[in-house]
């Protein structure tokens, strides 16, 4: 169960070829667990986790784990729209999954409305690199990311390496865009929502501010 109190809710979508490890990545991120075997995702599954950005703002991430299977492609497309960011996931040990990334990226940019989404390039199965199965070099992935203005990170849902970083980077970027005013909370768009306020939190701040004012004069 997710912590009840949060300031914002961001909706992020994970897209990429099937079996690249989207569901495993999310499972590790939300449960801290890794399953060697898992059923392919049907349509979309949902995960949620509460994290904090640098200034302490609590953000609930609602994570849409889409099915990578081609047959669900038409269905998953309909889920893109209400997201604020997308994680383009590929398998480090699967060259084709990386080669499909430009297609996923284009799809995301086309489907995600009304804002230009925050995108991140996430390589999975980093733990398998040690056994010499790397098919995508970090350099080429990094170059692609830089070329397209993406944040790049290589992760492992098995060891947990960089899993947190991947999601934190996207969350922080979305939050920064809120603060700069690029992203706004809009009716009819569920990419960003305000959450439950901390009870009395605002009142306490006011109470603290008032005496400070009165003492100065």
Partner 1 sequence: MFFLFVAIWTVHVKTSILSLEGSQMATSDSEDFESADEDPEIQIDHTALHSTKEQKEPEKSSTTNESNDNRQKKEPDELLRNEIGIGGTFQTSKDPTNDKTDTEASDINNTTVKTIENKAVKSPSVLPSRGGSNINGSDEAVTKDRQPKKCVKREQKPREPKSGGSARKLGTKISQNILCTGLESESEKVKQDFFASEKTCNQVVGDTHDKDERKTVTVSPYKMDNTAQEIEKLTLEESSEHNIAPVLDKLSQSASEKETDSDSSWGGWGNWGMTSLLFTATESVSALTTQVSQGLGTVLEAGIGAPDPEMLAQLEKEEELKLLQEKKQNEANEFSELQREEEQKAVPSGLFGFSHLISGVSSITRLVETTGNKVLTGGLDTLETIGKKTMEVLQEGDPGLKKKRALFSEKIVLSQVLREAKEKAEKEDQEIEDSQAARKAHFETLFDDYQGLVHLEALEMLSKQCDIKLQSILLTSSGTALSQLQQSLQEVKDICQLPDDEDTEEDESDAVDWRKRLDNAVKGLGVPIATEKLNKTWEMAHGWVENCCSNQKSSNNVEVISARDIHQKAIATLAQLTAESVEQFHKAAELLLVKDDRSPTEEAQTLLQVTSVLTSEVSAVATRFSECLNAAAENSMDPVAVNALITSVFLEAANSSSYIQEAFQLLIPVLEVGLTK
Residues in contact with partner 1 by CB under 8 A are 1-2, 4, 42-44, 46, 48, 62, 71-72, 74-75, 78-79, 82, 190, 199-200, 203, 207
Nearest to 10 by CA among 43, 48, 56: 48
Residue placing its CB nearer to partner 1 in the complex, 74 or 147: 74
Structure tokens at 13: 């979508």
Helix axes 163-180, 22-31, angle to 10 degrees: 80
CB of 1 to partner 1, least distance (A): 5
Decide whether 48 or 51 has the Cβ nearer to partner 1.
48
With respect to partner 1, which residue has the nearer C-beta, 95 or 198? Answer: 198
Q: Which is nearer to partner 1, 44 or 51 (CB)?
A: 44
| Shortest separation between residue 64's beta carbon and partner 1, angstroms | 8
- Taking the complex as a whole, the smallest distance from the CB of residue 81 to partner 1 amounts, in Å, to 8
Q: Which residue shows structure tokens 């499972």? A: 27
And the tokens for 144? 């692609």
Q: How many CB atoms lie within 10 A of CB 135?
A: 15
Q: 45-78: buried (b, 16+ CB within 10 Å) or exposed (e) per residue?
A: bebebbbebeeebbbbbbbbbbbbbeebeeebee
Question: Shortest Cβ distance from residue 176 to partner 1 (Å)?
Answer: 25
């Amino acid at each position: 169960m997710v912590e009840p109190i949060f300031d914002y809710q961001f909706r992020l979508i994970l897209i990429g070829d099937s079996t690249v490890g989207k569901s495993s990545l999310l499972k590790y991120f939300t449960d801290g667990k890794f399953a060697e075997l898992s059923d392919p995702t049907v349509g979309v599954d949902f995960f949620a986790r509460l994290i904090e950005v640098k200034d302490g703002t609590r953000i609930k991430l609602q994570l849409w784990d889409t099915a990578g299977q081609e047959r669900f492609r038409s269905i998953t497309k309909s889920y893109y729209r209400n997201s604020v960011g997308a994680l383009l996931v590929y398998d480090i040990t699967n060259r084709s999954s990386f080669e499909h990334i430009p297609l996923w990226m284009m799809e995301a940019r086309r489907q995600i409305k009304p804002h230009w989404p925050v995108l991140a390039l996430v390589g999975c199965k980093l733990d398998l690199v040690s056994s010499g199965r790397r098919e995508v070099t970090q350099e080429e992935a990094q170059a692609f990311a830089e070329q397209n203005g993406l944040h790049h990170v290589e992760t492992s849902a098995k060891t947990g390496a960089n899993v947190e970083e991947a999601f934190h980077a996207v969350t922080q970027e979305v939050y920064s865009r809120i603060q700069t005013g690029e992203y706004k909370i809009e009716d009819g768009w569920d990419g960003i929502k305000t959450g439950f306020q901390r009870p009395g939190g605002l009142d306490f701040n006011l109470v603290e501010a008032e005496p400070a004012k009165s003492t100065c004069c």
